[in-house]
Chains A and B, each alone.
Chain A
Amino acid sequence: MALPDMALPLYLRPRLEPPLSALLDEAALLHSLVDALGSPLNVLLPERIAENARRFREVYRKHRLAGQVYFAHKANGSDCLVRALAAADPSVAGVDVASLGELRHALASGLGPGRLLATGPKDPEFLWLAARTGTRVHLDSPGELEQLARLVRKYSLPRIDVLLRLSEFTPAAGSGGVRLLSRRSRFGTPLRELEKALDLVERNEDAVELTGVGYHLDTTGVEEKALALESCVRAMDLCRARGLNPRSVDIGGGFGIGYVEDAGEWERWTTELGQAVLGNRPALTWRGHGYGLRNEGGTLRGAPALYPAHRASAGPAYLDELLSHPGPSTGRPLGTLLLEHLHDLDCEPGRALADQCGLSLARVLEVRHDSGDVLVRLAMNAGDVGLEEHGVLVDPVLLPGRSGRAPAEEGGPEGGAGVFLMGNLCLEADLITRRKVFLPRLPRPGDLLAFANTAGYAMDFHAHRAQRQPVARTVAVTRDGDSWKWCTDERYWPISPSGGPAS
C-alpha cells in the first residue's frame, strides 16, 4: 500500500468568516488586549450572532414557515451575545434558557418573556419565575407538568403556555419495517405515553395551555430527526383530535458548525489517525491516544469519538436539509408537512448560532524540547478552551509576539512545526488537545495562539478556578468603520454600532 507522505504537516486549519477573519488580522490589537487583561482571554463578536439568526430565518422563509429561533443560552454565558439578540428584531430570534440564572439574565438583557423558552430539567424557583413572567415552558416530564400546575394554583399565577418534550420515537407501522436505533435520552416523555401525558394536560387545563410538542435528539443523523419530527406532527394530530389547539413543533438544536475549512485536511488527518493507531506511521497524538480507535490484531476497532470537524452541511444548511428530507412514513418533505398542517416551527440552535462569534486567546509561556517532542506551555488550561472536551479538533492561529518573525530554521519540514499544547495546571492530563498540532512555525514565548470559533460551548462551559489560575475575562469587539472598538463583556450594550454611547 502507498505510504502516506509524512513530510507534510497535517494541518486542520479553521474555517474563518468575517468579521472573525478580519479580527485575526489585527495581531497588535489582540496582543494589547491580552497585555491589559491577561491570558486566557475570550473575545466575542456580538454583531455576528444576529446575522447567524437571520440566516436561520432565511431557511424559514424558504420553507414558508412561521415560528421562532431560540438561541440556546447554555452555549455561551456572556452578556454581549444575549444583549445583541435582544437588540435584533423580535422576529429574528429569542433565547432558550435552561436555568433560573439564564432566565434572569435574559430578562435583564432586555428580552421579554414572549421571546423566551424555558427548557431542560427545572427547579421550583425556575418554574415559578417562568410562570410569573409568562415565559413558555418546554416540559421535560409529566412530573414537571404537575409541579408547574401546583405552583400556578398555589401562587395564583397566570395560566402558562407549555410544550411537551417527547422522546423514544419508533417508526409507525407501514413505514418500511426498519427499526431506527437512537441513543436513549434521559429527557422527555416517551411517545408511547403521550395519551397519558395529554390526560394530565387536560386535568390541569386551568393552569397550563399546551402550545406544542417537541424533541431534542443528540445526533447528526437526519434520518433519526426526520422520524422524530414526523412523529411530532402525528402527536399534534392526536392533540387536535382531543380538542387541544397546539401550534408549534419544536425540533431542538444540534445543527452544528463546520470548524475545519478544508474537507481534504480533515479526511487526511482522520485517515492518518487510523494509520497511527495501527502502527503504520508515527503517533499523531499524545502518548498514542486513539480518540476511541484501537488496534486489535492489526484491525482497527472502535469509532473515533470526534466531532465531525469538517461538515458539508451545518447550521442553517442542515436545517434546510432536514426540512427538505422526506418524512419516513408520509414521504412528504418535512417542511411541507409542517406547513400543510399549519404548524409553526421552533428550534434552539446553540453552537450554530454562536458560529464565528468569538475566539479564545492564550499566551505562549514556554517552548520545551522533550525527548523528540516539542511541548508548548500556554497561560490557559483545558477548561478555558473546551474544544477538546467536545471532540472538536481544529488548529489555533499563531499571532507572533513583538519579538518579530522567528528564524526559518525553527520551523519543521515544509515550514510546519508539530507541537503539543500544554495547559497551566500541575496535572499530567492538562493538555489543551491530545493531538499534535501543526503550526506554520515553532511558537516562541510571548506569541499568542488564537483558538477560533470557540463561542459555542468552548468558552465558559467548562472553565473553572482550579489552582486559583485566572478564569478568562471576556471582551466584546465591534467593528467601527475601518477600526475596531472593544469593551468588557458586562459593559457592552447594543445601543450604537460600536457598543459605546449612542450618538
Chain B
Amino acid sequence: MRYDSIVEAIGNTPLVRIDPAVHGLRHIDLYAKLEMLNPFGSVKDRAAWNMARDRLAAAAGRGATVVELSSGNTAKALALLAGLHGLPFKSVTNRMRVPEIKDLLLLLGAEIEELPGRSECLDPTDTEDPLTRFHQALADEGGAYLHTDQYFNPRNTEAHATGTGPEIVKDLDGRAPDWFIACVGTAGSSTGVARALREHDPRVGVVGLVADKSDFIPGIRTLDEVHQVGLFDPATYDTVEPVTSDEAIDGMLTLIRRCGLLSGPTGGAAYHGAVRHLRPLDARLTERRTAVFIVCDRAESYLSYVRQRRPELLGRPPRKNSVETLTGEEAARLAKEATVEEARRLLSEGAPPPLVVDLRGPHAYAALHIEGSLNIPDELFAELVRGGLPFARSRPVLLACPVGERSARYAALLTRMGHPGVRSLAGGIVGWRDSGAPLVRD
C-alpha cells in the first residue's frame, strides 16, 4: 500500500478472533481489535491525529508548542505528529512511571515536565492543585501552545465514533457485537466506540474496566480518577469493573503466549476483564454471540513494569562468579582484610605494592581517593569478574569500598576464584579518612 504520509496509515486495524480453546467461552466469539497496529503503536494515534490535525498548520504558523497531559501513548503519538509538522512537543505528567516510555519520548524529541508531589506541610488556604495551575499557565501564554486536552476534547471521542466503532461493525459483516469491553483511560475510545455501536444496535452491552484504587495499569484510570475525566460519563457503561495489575499481566501473557498477539498490559487487562465478565453469561447462552475488546498497545515498552511486578517471568539463572553466590561461611572464611595501618605499610613497602581498586562510584572517586588507586565501580567490577579473574595472580590487590563490606565480599569471591593475594581495606575509605590517612583529588 502506498501513502503520501504516515498519518494515512492510522486506523483500519485488524479484528482478530481469539481461539475458543484459549478463552473457553462456548457460545461467544471473542474478537480483539488490534489498535496496537496503528503506525505509532497504539489506539491513541487516532485521537491524537483527530485532535491535532486541523490545528497543526496554524500552530506551525505561530511557532506554537504542542502540549498534553500524558505519560504514555498520547504523548508518543503527539510527539511524532508534532515532529512531522516541525513543532516541539511538551508532555506534562504527574510521574513518568514506565521508564521505557520516558526514554522513548525523549528519543522522539519530547520535552517532559513532571508536576510536584503532594505537600508534606499542607497549606490549607492553597486549594489550587498543580493541574489547575497548568491550565492557567496555558491560558496565560496566549497562543504559544496547542493544547490537545485529551481528557475533555470531544474530538478524542469522535475519532472512535467515526473510526474504530464503524470499522468493528463493518468487520462483523454489518452487525454490532453483543458486548464491547474496553479499558477506561481518557474514556475517548470506549465512549466513541460505544456510541457508534449503539447507533447501530442499542442493545450492545458496554463494559468499562478501571484499575483498583491502589494499583497501576498503564493507560487505565482508577475508579476515583475516572471521575476527573471530562469525557467520562457513567451512563456510557452498563458496568464499570476493576482489574488488578496482576490480572492485566496474566491477560497479556495469554495474548502473547497463546494468541500470537504482542499485547501490552492494557490489552491484557481488557482480555482478562472481557473473559471474566462473559464467562457467567456464556454459561446461560444457547445461541451464538460476539464480543469485542481493544488491544491498545504493544508489550515491548513494559518490560520494566513486568520485571517490577512479576520478576520470575524475566528470571535469569544465578551467575557463577558473583558475590550473590557466596555463602555466609565462605564470605567469612575467604575474605582477607588489611587494616589501614597494614594497608599503608603494604603500599610503601610491598614488593610489589598492591593495586588499590576503589569500588565506589566515579563521582565519589573523583572527589577524593587513595593516591594511585584505580576506580572500578562495583557494578562494573561485578561484570568484569563474571568472566574470570581480572588481575594476574602475581599482583597483590587491595579492594576498597566506603566501609569495607562490599570489598570484603569481593575479596572472598576473588579468593574463591583462585587469586592468592586479594585483601579488603578494613573500615573502607571512611575508616581510612577517620584514621587521618591522606586522600587526594586529581
Contact = CB atoms under 8 A, between A and B. Distances in A.
Nearest to A233: B363
A256 interface: yes
B230 interface: yes
B233 interface: yes
A278 B122 CA distance: 24
Given A292-B127, A305-B124, A223 B95 contact: yes
B198 interface: no
B118 interface: yes
A278 to B, nearest CB: 6
A134 B361 CA distance: 35
B69 interface: no
Contacts of B430: 64, 66, 339, 342
Nearest to A236: B367
Interface in B187-231: 213-214, 223-224, 227-230
A237 interface: yes
Q: Would you call the interface of chain B mostly helix, strand, loop, or mixed?
A: loop
Nearest to A184: B116
A101 B223 CA distance: 49
B155 interface: no
Interface in B228-248: 228-230, 232-234, 237, 239-240
Interface in A326-360: 330, 332, 336-337, 339-342
A56 to B, nearest CB: 16
B388 interface: no
Interface in B39-59: none
B118 A299 contact: no
Residue of A275, A303, A457 most packed against chain B (CB within 10 A): A303
Interface string A232-256: 0110110011000000000001101
A404 interface: no
Given A178-B112, A305-B122, A340-B361, A271 B403 contact: no
A300 B227 contact: yes
Contacts of B106: 176-178
A237 B363 contact: yes
A183 interface: yes
A436 B96 CA distance: 36
Contacts of A298: 233
Contacts of A457: 121
B237 A181 contact: no
* Residue among B122, B130, B131, B368 having the largest count of chain A Cβ atoms under 10 Å: B122
Contact of A336 (B116, B124, B233, B361): B361
A177 B112 contact: yes
B202 to A, nearest CB: 19
Nearest to A275: B227
A391 B121 CA distance: 9
A340 B124 contact: no
Given A224-B116, A278-B227, A330-B363, A342 B127 contact: no
A330 B213 CA distance: 33
B232 A299 contact: yes
A352 to B, nearest CB: 10
A179 B114 contact: yes
A277 B213 CA distance: 18
A218 interface: yes
A258 to B, nearest CB: 13
A91 to B, nearest CB: 15
A292 B131 CA distance: 12
A267 interface: yes
A302 B132 contact: yes
A181 B114 contact: yes
Nearest to A270: B224
Interface in A60-118: 64, 66
Interface in B374-403: 402-403
B360 A219 contact: no
B15 to A, nearest CB: 28
A297 B232 CA distance: 11
Given A176-B106, A330-B361, A390-B122, A64 B129 contact: no
B433 interface: yes
A1 interface: yes
A308 interface: yes
B136 interface: no
Among B111, B119, B131, which residue has the most Cβ atoms of chain A within 10 A? B119
Interface in A254-291: 254, 256, 263, 267, 270-271, 274-275, 278
A183 B113 contact: no
A301 B133 CA distance: 12
A430 interface: no
A389 interface: yes
A408 interface: no
B113 A179 contact: yes
A307 interface: yes
B315 to A, nearest CB: 22
B441 to A, nearest CB: 7
A390 B121 contact: yes
A240 B367 contact: yes
Interface of B: 95-96, 102-103, 106, 111-122, 124, 126-127, 129-132, 152, 213-214, 223-224, 227-230, 232-234, 237, 239-240, 360-361, 363-368, 402-403, 405, 429-430, 433, 441
18 contacts: A1-B239, A66-B430, A181-B116, A219-B116, A219-B118, A219-B119, A220-B117, A220-B120, A223-B114, A234-B363, A254-B120, A271-B224, A303-B131, A342-B402, A342-B430, A388-B124, A389-B124, A390-B121
Interface of A: 1-2, 64, 66, 176-183, 218-224, 233-234, 236-237, 240-241, 253-254, 256, 263, 267, 270-271, 274-275, 278, 292, 297-303, 305-308, 330, 332, 336-337, 339-342, 388-391, 457
Closest 9 CB pairs of A and B: A221-B117, A303-B129, A340-B364, A340-B360, A254-B120, A391-B122, A339-B402, A300-B227, A219-B117
